[in-house]
Amino acid sequence: MTRTESLPDVRGRLMLAFPGLELPPAMERRLREAPAAGITLFRYHNVDTPAQVRALVGAAQAAAAAGGHEGPLLVAADQEGGQLVALGDGTTPFPGAMALGATGDPGLAERVGRATGEELLAMGVNVAYAPSCDLASNPANPHLGIRSFGDDPAVVGAFAASMTRGLRAAGVAVTVKHFPGLGEADLDSHHGLPVLALDRERLETTELVPFRAAIQAGADLVMSAHVALPSLTGDPGLPATLSRGLMHDLVRDRLGFRGLTITDALDMEALPQGDGQVVDVIAAIRAGVDVLLCAPDQERLARIERAVTHAAARRLFDGAELRASAARLASLRGRLAAAPEPDLAVVGSAAHRALAREVAERSITLVSDRAGLLPLRVAAGDRILAVMPAPRALTPADTSGSVAPGLAAALRDRWPDVDEVVTSHPPTDDEIAGVVARATGAAVTVVGTISASADPAQVRLVEALLATGRPVVTVALRTPWDLAAYPAAGTHVAAYGILSPTLRALTATLFGDLPFRGTLPVRAAVPDEVAR
């Protein structure tokens, strides 16, 4: 037997993906004929209902078992809550990480982690691509948004560790991301390679703190960030994913991580997408990465499979490292095989929806009420104008585009006469003029903005409303930096999301039915001179 034949099949390092609500025949054959680490499910490719997801996963596991796979496939999804809900509307709409950070209660994050894990397992999903350990330290970061718990390393570490414990308690494998941190990025790595000016001392004292905490809490996987750190690698064009100094020396030798490392998605434009991808997938494995996260594009998947198979035949990989990686994967599979599968009824259950409501009600934050408009005071015959942009995905790592605009509907639960305007995103000049005209007849306007700090048109809309002299309440429906973009607003609330529990909690606090209990989890969200 030759040395190459005795090594683990390198195709077992791939997290496969595919389009379809049912398992395609080609993917069924692939799982029967060759090993794979597992599959990743994507909302807009693979998800309809919880029952459909469970059936799809069952078919994939059956095909793998028929092909002789030892232990279950890893089945993963980006079920973070908030702006990234990969498993669809049938799951509980938990507010995201920043809303949890605003509650100031890591124990609540552990409860949400456990509930999320139960829903994942009920659908057959045994790996969560969560939580994010990234710091919300750069308001200009287009990728992260409310996926971060906040900007304080110790606080984010406490929340990430709690979420890790909760997910693991449910029996789900936990993936902490995006190593060694992408909070400082000012470019979305889906579209290019961010270059971070961070040295080792800064990483040790800041970015790595949450990763250490989550690893100590039992994280099973560490996902790489497609960012460059030239002060550590000496190369401004080298993504962390391909750096052995980061993906082996730092995460394993320095942080003591013993689980699986996994790339972020390989279809992101921070990495070459043509023939250069062949070199990069080989470089990732040589850098010490255990698992390659493939996208649903079948042409790209075939190219990656050919590349790693040919590289293995040419003995470009270290045999001892291939065996060690296979052992780590087998160990995780053994743990996942022992987890019982909850009943599907747990998905979206009343208990979990009550937990989502609790998170929302404890997160809504009053940033400023210099105008003295709260609680809202309306009388019979008064009309409220509710304005927000149509939700859309601001980054490919975002499922907001599937969320219906719900600000007016939430307000109508409390007050019958609510006039609704849903603008384009960003709003047009004609839409701004129309909103201003309707605001002149309203007792109060509640205007929600979505990352207005990066959208001058939304800022113009708010400023035009303020210029009317009529009462205006501004609400940051996503990142809390919006008030810094329109500092003249005198009454401002941070809500951290657009899902139904958040908008209902927002309504309750605006009317004084509930107190504002949240605190800003990012210190630089608003200038001191405009804070309450």
Question: Within this chain, do residues 373 and 294 fall inside the same structural domain, yes or no?
Answer: no
Residues 419 and 387: their CA atoms lie apart, in Å, by 9
Q: Is residue 345 part of a domain?
A: no
Q: Is residue 397 part of a domain?
A: yes
Q: What pLDDT is attached to residue 4?
A: 41
DSSP string, 458-501: HHHHHHHHHHTTS-EEEEESS-TTHHHHSTT-SEEEE----SHH
* Amino acid letter, 324: A
The CATH number given to whatever domain includes residue 393 is: 3.40.50.1700
Q: Is residue 71 part of a domain?
A: yes
Q: Is residue 333 part of a domain?
A: yes
At 175, give phi and psi (nearest 5°).
-115, 115
Residue pair 147/84 in contact (Cβ under 8 Å)? The answer is yes
> Is the previous residue joined to 375 through a cis bond, with omega within 30 degrees of 0?
yes
Q: Which two tokens stand for residue 464?
A: 């035009």
Count of C-beta atoms within a 10 Å radius of residue 353: 16
In the sheet that holds 260-262, the strands lie side by side as: 260-262, 221-224, 173-179, 127-128, 74-77, 38-40, 14-16, 292-293
| Cα pseudo-dihedral 341, 107, 255, 308, rounded to 10 | 30
Structural domain count, the chain: 2
Residue pair 99/147 in contact (Cβ under 8 Å)? The answer is no
Q: What pLDDT is attached to residue 2?
A: 44
For residue 393, pLDDT over 60 is answered with yes
**Span 263-289, pLDDT tens digits:** 999 998 888 888 888 999 999 999 999
Q: What pLDDT is attached to residue 1?
A: 37
| Cα pseudo-dihedral 409, 415, 421, 424, rounded to 10 | -40
**Span 231-245, pLDDT tens digits:** 999 999 999 999 999
Question: Within this chain, do residues 25 and 87 fall inside the same structural domain, yes or no?
Answer: yes
DSSP string, 432-456: HHHHHHHHTT-SEEEEEESSGGG-H
**Span 399-421, pLDDT tens digits:** 999 999 999 999 999 999 999 99
What does the pLDDT average to over 384-392? 97
Catalytically annotated residue among 190, 226, 352, 425: 190
Residues 483 and 333: their CA atoms lie apart, in Å, by 47
Catalytic residue flag (residue 264): yes
Count of C-beta atoms within a 10 Å radius of residue 447: 27
Residues 283 and 111: their CA atoms lie apart, in Å, by 39
Question: Within this chain, do residues 392 and 496 fall inside the same structural domain, yes or no?
Answer: yes
For the chain, what is the mean pLDDT? 95
What does the pLDDT average to over 137-156? 93
Work out the angle at residue 129's Cα, subtended by the Cα atoms of residues 202 and 289, and round it to the nearest 5 degrees: 65
Task: Specify the range with the lowest mean pLDDT, choosing from 254-258, 351-355, 450-454.
Answer: 450-454
Q: Which residue among 303, 338, 373 closes a domain?
A: 338
Question: Within this chain, do residues 303 and 400 fall inside the same structural domain, yes or no?
Answer: no
Residues 171 and 300: their CA atoms lie apart, in Å, by 32
Residue pair 394/451 in contact (Cβ under 8 Å)? The answer is yes
Residues 115 and 167: their CA atoms lie apart, in Å, by 8
**Span 117-130, pLDDT tens digits:** 999 999 999 999 99
Bridge partners (DSSP) of residue 261 are: 222
> Is the previous residue joined to 180 through a cis bond, with omega within 30 degrees of 0?
yes
Q: What pLDDT is attached to residue 524?
A: 65
Q: Which residue among 338, 372, 401 closes a domain?
A: 338
DSSP state of 39: E
Secondary structure class of 430 (helix, strand, coil):
helix
Bridge partners (DSSP) of residue 472 are: 445
Question: Within this chain, do residues 390 and 268 fall inside the same structural domain, yes or no?
Answer: no
Q: Which domain holds residue 69?
A: 14-338
The CATH number given to whatever domain includes residue 300 is: 3.20.20.300
Count of C-beta atoms within a 10 Å radius of residue 348: 18
Q: How far is CA 463 from the centre of its chain?
A: 31
DSSP string, 354-418: HHHHHHHHHH-EEEEETT---S----TT--EEEEEEPP--SSSS--GGGSPP-HHHHHHTT-S-E
Q: Is residue 6 part of a domain?
A: no
At 178, give phi and psi (nearest 5°).
-110, 110
Catalytic residue flag (residue 310): no
Question: Within this chain, do residues 32 and 171 fall inside the same structural domain, yes or no?
Answer: yes
Question: Within this chain, do residues 328 and 419 fall inside the same structural domain, yes or no?
Answer: no
**Span 360-382, pLDDT tens digits:** 999 999 999 999 999 999 999 99
Question: Within this chain, do residues 77 and 161 fall inside the same structural domain, yes or no?
Answer: yes
Q: Is residue 359 part of a domain?
A: no
Question: Within this chain, do residues 315 and 186 fall inside the same structural domain, yes or no?
Answer: yes
For residue 51, pLDDT over 80 is answered with yes
Count of C-beta atoms within a 10 Å radius of residue 298: 17
What does the pLDDT average to over 157-183? 97
**Span 208-226, pLDDT tens digits:** 999 999 999 999 999 999 9
Question: Within this chain, do residues 334 and 368 fall inside the same structural domain, yes or no?
Answer: no
Count CA within 13 A, CB hemisphere, residue 487.
Answer: 8
Whole-Å CA distances, 21 to 54, 319, 331, 367: 11, 37, 30, 43
**Span 467-502, pLDDT tens digits:** 999 999 999 999 999 999 999 999 999 999 999 999
| 472-476 vs 491-494, strand pairing mode | parallel
Global pTM reads 0.96
Question: Within this chain, do residues 259 and 402 fall inside the same structural domain, yes or no?
Answer: no
**Span 241-265, pLDDT tens digits:** 999 999 999 999 999 999 999 999 9
For residue 74, pLDDT over 90 is answered with yes
Q: How far is CA 178 from the centre of its chain?
A: 10
Catalytically annotated residue among 151, 264, 267, 482: 264
Q: Is residue 295 part of a domain?
A: yes
Q: Is residue 346 part of a domain?
A: no
Question: Within this chain, do residues 248 and 307 fall inside the same structural domain, yes or no?
Answer: yes
